[in-house]
Chain A
Amino acid sequence: SQTIHQWPATLVQPVGSPLSLECTVEGTSNPNLYWYRQAAGRGLQLLFYSVGIGQISSEVPQNLSASRPQDRQFILSSKKLLLSDSGFYLCAWGWGGSEQFFGPGTRLTVL
């Protein structure tokens, strides 16, 4: 069976500090990978998706970037965090169709 891991579970970072969130998937090969953010009181917003190693598509302009160095590893980064980057970050995987499977999420607070 497939599992998806995200870490850390919670993170408190000062404004201007760097960020690195990691997501890994087990039990499948060549999945599509996704990063979402849920801001307070808002729905899930797709930030990035990837259909293969090194292939990243950005959905919204922002202070964040994503990388996929290995088939089942997806990393969300920032060089300098903003207050508006606070939120609940979710990684998900899928097989190219609509159904996606989400990780447990990371709660990021930028102070």
Chain B
Amino acid sequence: TQLLEQSPQFLSIQEGENLTVYCNSSSVFSSLQWYRQEPGEGPVLLVTVVTGGEVKKLKRLTFQFGDARKDSSLHITAAQPGDTGLYLCAGAPYNQGGKLIFGQGTELSVKP
């Protein structure tokens, strides 16, 4: 069974602080996606990483894909209350018809 371990599962911080969310697996993924979800809505794609060692930046968010394509991290700089939400990582295994393996999610709360 392929698993994607995401941590931490809950994070409550003050506005302006930095944070990092991790996703780790023993499996290799062809790509890895990060999504953000707000209550009552579907997940919204933030980024897709494909190449081992790849780093992508989206304003204050930095995404990294591990060299071996088994792990990834999301770093948020100077968090704002608008960053509050559920962050999900999802890896795409090879030869599984496009399925995604989801991490457990990180519930982020940024207090003003």
Asked whether A and B interact, the reply is no
